[in-house]
Amino acid sequence: MDKWRLWGVGFCLMAASGAVLADSLDAQRQRYMQVKQAWDSKQMDTVYNLMPTLRDYPLYPYLQYRQLGQDLGQATTLEIKAFINQYPTLPPARSLPSRYVNELARRQDWVGLLVFSPQAPKPVAARCNYYYAQYATGQRQTAWQGAKEIWLSGKSLPSSCDKLFDAWRSSGDQTPQVVLERMRLALKEGNGGLVTFLAKQLPAEYQTLGDALNKLQTDPRGVEAFARNTSPTDFTRDVTETAFVRLARQDPDSARDMLPTLVRLQKITGAQHQVMQDAIVWRLMGNDASAADARWRDGIVQNSNNGALVERRVRLALGNGDKQEIRFWLSRLPQDVRGKDEWRYWSAAMLIDGGKRAEGENILRDLTRERGFYPMVAAQKLGIPYPLRVEKAARPQASVGSEPAIARVRELMYWNMDNQARAEWGALVSSKPRQEQEALARYAFEQQWADLSVQATIVAKLWDHLEERFPLAWQQDFRQATEDKGITQSYAMAIARQESAWNPKARSPVGASGLMQVMPKTAQHTAQMYNLTHYVNSSQLLNPQTNIEIGTSYLEYVYQNLGRNRILSSAAYNAGPSRVNTWLGNTNGRVDAIAFIESIPFSETRSYVKNVLAYDAYYRYFMKRPAKVLTDAEWARRY
């Protein structure tokens, strides 16, 4: 660290004497790469010599951060605070405070830790060190209160918290009841290892109860034995409810048979009884429920205050195409969900179907004033054009491009570090007031940074800034990829916009990659099917042109195989063709297009289809080819 300090002094002298290099951006980039390579190969003399010459380079703060991180053990509070204050939106700087809290804890500088961080940090490890500092400086009540708040989690906690928890346990303030409560939370999370670990911490007089909880986490069918062998308390009732809900997911028939016994043995409250019944009902929401099960299910749903459960029952009625059922369950929707676009639309549709056309059409007209899929559908049902409204963003000032954070974004993109650029951009947009957020969204749009334009509208909630939300990204590539296909360019772009928000480096947890979020196996199969011989491996999916070629080919495949219907092909792109065929088998030609979409049982796929259809309409508008949200064939078909 002394060498760094000497370098810092030397740099100041160089700056004062005019000796600092004043050179081109290309030369700075070359030296930046030299520094990174030298650092990676531990050639520190090269780093020391070249780093002072990069002070004017936009990514210099990243080198400073690396320097601080490498020598954190010798850093001072003043240095850390100075860095954070100098670069308030730099993404790595966000983690620096908690890292330094942990470093001060390693030094056992408890007073210094509390001076540096007068408030509890958010990251759990740093928060544990913060509360241990409170304990070490005599603030035991604050320390134990914080320890309890952290402790009461069903998730496993970092080992850095052990010191705090050990001190809390030794003080006698951590009671067996607190251990049992955490066991209940772990049981609810399905964290069996934690349940077993905590059982060992219980004193001898609580071992029987601890063993019973341990058995429940491996086999929730033991809930009846648990209820029979433990006296009813608030705690045992909570455990009974938690274990029963797990059982209901696995074996709803056994759970239903067991429920009256559990209610009697544990004196289950009315609210808990309803929650337990609801857990069974969720498993009986398919068309495969027997008539007796369906009657029982519907009786429970009528008395439930669970809005999501009643909504699921409306969707089941929509999928069955039974208008009497639809009306009945719409009337049972809790007040707090009735105002959703979908239920406003279906209430209007049922009024029109029941002869109350004027009343229903008034609801639809009001709905067309909103934004999104159902307002578009309402306009189509009324037979009128959807009045699309596009809010204009504030114009960016000429000086925006010279802002240091934007210069960093530009350089990160130069180095193909798109995800780091997105982190920089998101932090910058979050730090600005509304008007400047609009200007940044517009700036990104004008720079053709499609993913950053979209990201700005999401961060700032600029939902009516449709041009910035739906930039015409990779337009030429999509035009070429779709010109020999049945799918339209706007539809393919809508899929890409929904899948990746135009981030070409997007990767999902399951391995989907790139603009159209193509899975490697899907890409391999599609390349073989369409004889795309230049596709070799999944790394190519991060290339926008290759991704568009593979993605549009697969989309064309599902589109053609599902009757050239965007509703079905969109659902298939998200959830797979086999599921779509299953859903079509369930509805069996009884329902219209909107009922089919709303009856899709997967909330992710349901929202996906609605978004893609609306996004397609937006893209057609910006491409000056406006059309209705559904084609006449899609609208007229029975599903």
Q: Which residues are catalytic?
A: 499
Residue 470 and residue 622 in contact, taking contact as beta carbons nearer than 8 Å: yes
Query: Hey, CA dihedral for 170, 173, 175, 180, is it positive or negative?
Result: negative
User: Which residue has tokens 């009922």?
Assistant: 595
Angle between helices 450-459 and 434-446 in degrees, nearest 10? 170
Alpha carbon of 204 to those of 179, 199, 514, 552, 554: distances in Å? 13, 10, 56, 64, 62
- Tell me which residue has tokens 């709803």: 252
Residue 236 CA to residue 163 CA, distance in Å, equals: 30
Quote the CA–CA distance of 448 and 205 in Å, as a whole number.
68
Whether residue 405 contacts residue 436, with contact meaning beta carbons closer than 8 Å, is answered with no
- Rg (alpha carbons) of the chain, rounded to whole number: 30
Residue at token pair 């009306």: 327
How many whole angstroms separate alpha carbon 456 and alpha carbon 352? 41
In angstroms, rounded to a whole number, what is the distance separating the alpha carbons of residues 117 and 110? Answer: 10
* Residues 551/516, Cβ–Cβ less than 8 Å: yes
Question: Which one, of 211, 203, 213, lies nearest residue 181 by Cα?
Answer: 213
Among 607, 568, 573, 604, smallest CA distance to 584 is for 568
Distance CA 560, CA 526 (A): 14
| Residue 302, phi then psi, degrees to nearest 5 | -60, -30
Q: Which residues pair with 518 in a beta bridge?
A: 513
d(CA 310, CA 498): 28
Please report, as a single letter, which amino acid is at residue 46: T
What is d(CA 488, CA 477) in angstroms, rounded to the nearest whole number? Answer: 13
Whole-number Å distance between alpha carbons of 421 and 409: 5
Q: Which of 491, 497, 506 has its CA nearest to residue 541? A: 506
Long-range contacts of 225-234 (CB under 8 A, 24+ apart): 227/261, 227/262, 227/265, 227/266, 228/265, 232/265, 232/266, 232/267
Distance (Å, rounded) from C-alpha 86 to C-alpha 405? Answer: 12
Long-range CB pairs of 108-111 (<8 Å, 24+ gap) are 108/136, 110/136, 110/137, 111/137
Do 583 and 600 meet the contact criterion of CB atoms below 8 Å apart? Answer: yes
Angle at 637 between CA 317 and CA 483, to 5 degrees: 125
> Crossing angle for the helix pair 124-136 and 140-151, nearest 10 degrees?
160
Instruction: Find, among 147, 122, 150, 121, the residue nearest to 132 by Cα.
Output: 147
Separation of alpha carbons 255 and 87, rounded Å: 56
Q: Assign residue 502 a region: left if phi > 0, alpha if psi is -120 to 50, beta otherwise?
A: left
Tokens of 357: 């056309």
